[in-house]
């Protein structure tokens, strides 16, 4: 069995979080969700270290821009972040904030899966694993 690759989805819209989580888990990822930047930092401090973060820009308490600025000053600074937003200037913000990519809402599932596979690839299945018979 291959080791799970962890992804964190930070979005204040529970429907978006759950839909994305469902697709990523079906693709083999381990997914945690947070409803804003404050909740996400609590999870990071509690030891949930993701290989990739999907981040909405507009959220209450701690928005995406604030979260990303704080993330870059923390021990999690090297974690790749993909901006996930319906905000008109999100692509420019993503570049300014050092995000690795930006997906515009509503997100096409193929774009989502291609992005996560690019920045947080799953390990290849080895021989003699349940999903790879010899």
pLDDT in tens, 16-59: 999 999 999 999 999 999 999 999 999 999 998 999 999 999 99
Residues 3-12: pLDDT tens digits?
Answer: 789 999 999 9
Residue with the bigger pLDDT between 39 and 130: it is 39
95-99 mean pLDDT: 93
Contact between 5 and 51 under an 8 Å Cβ cutoff? The reply is yes
Taking the model in full, what pTM does it have?
0.90
CATH number at residue 84: 3.40.50.2300
Q: Strand, helix or coil at 103?
A: strand
Q: Is the pLDDT of residue 65 over 50?
A: yes
- Model confidence at 132, pLDDT cuts 50, 70, 90, reads very low
> Is residue 132 situated within a structural domain?
no
Distances, alpha carbon 117 to alpha carbons 6, 121, 124, 132, 133, in Å: 12, 4, 12, 19, 23
> Is residue 46 situated within a structural domain?
yes
Distances, alpha carbon 6 to alpha carbons 33, 74, 120, in Å: 11, 19, 8
Number of domains into which the chain is organized:
1
> Is residue 133 situated within a structural domain?
no
pLDDT at res. 1: 56
> Is residue 77 situated within a structural domain?
yes
> Is residue 45 situated within a structural domain?
yes
Q: Where in the sequence is the domain holding 91, given as residue range(s)?
A: 6-119
> Is residue 104 situated within a structural domain?
yes
**DSSP per residue, 21-43:** HHHHHHTT-EEEEESSHHHHHHH
Q: What is the mean pLDDT of the chain?
A: 91
pLDDT at res. 127: 53
> Is residue 20 situated within a structural domain?
yes
Q: Is the pLDDT of residue 104 over 50?
A: yes
> Is residue 130 situated within a structural domain?
no
């Amino acid at each position: 069995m291959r080791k799970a690759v962890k992804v964190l989805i930070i979005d204040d819209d529970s429907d978006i979080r759950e839909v994305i989580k469902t697709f990523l888990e079906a693709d083999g990822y381990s997914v945690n969700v947070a409803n804003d930047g404050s909740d996400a930092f609590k999870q990071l401090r509690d030891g949930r270290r993701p290989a990739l973060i999907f981040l909405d820009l507009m959220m209450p308490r701690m928005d995406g821009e604030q979260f990303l600025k704080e993330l870059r000053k923390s021990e999690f600074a090297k974690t790749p972040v993909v901006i996930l937003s319906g905000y008109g200037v999100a692509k420019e913000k993503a570049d300014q904030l050092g995000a690795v990519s930006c997906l515009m809402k509503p997100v096409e599932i193929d774009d989502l899966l291609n992005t996560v596979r690019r920045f947080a690839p799953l390990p290849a299945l080895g021989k003699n694993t349940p999903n790879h018979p010899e």
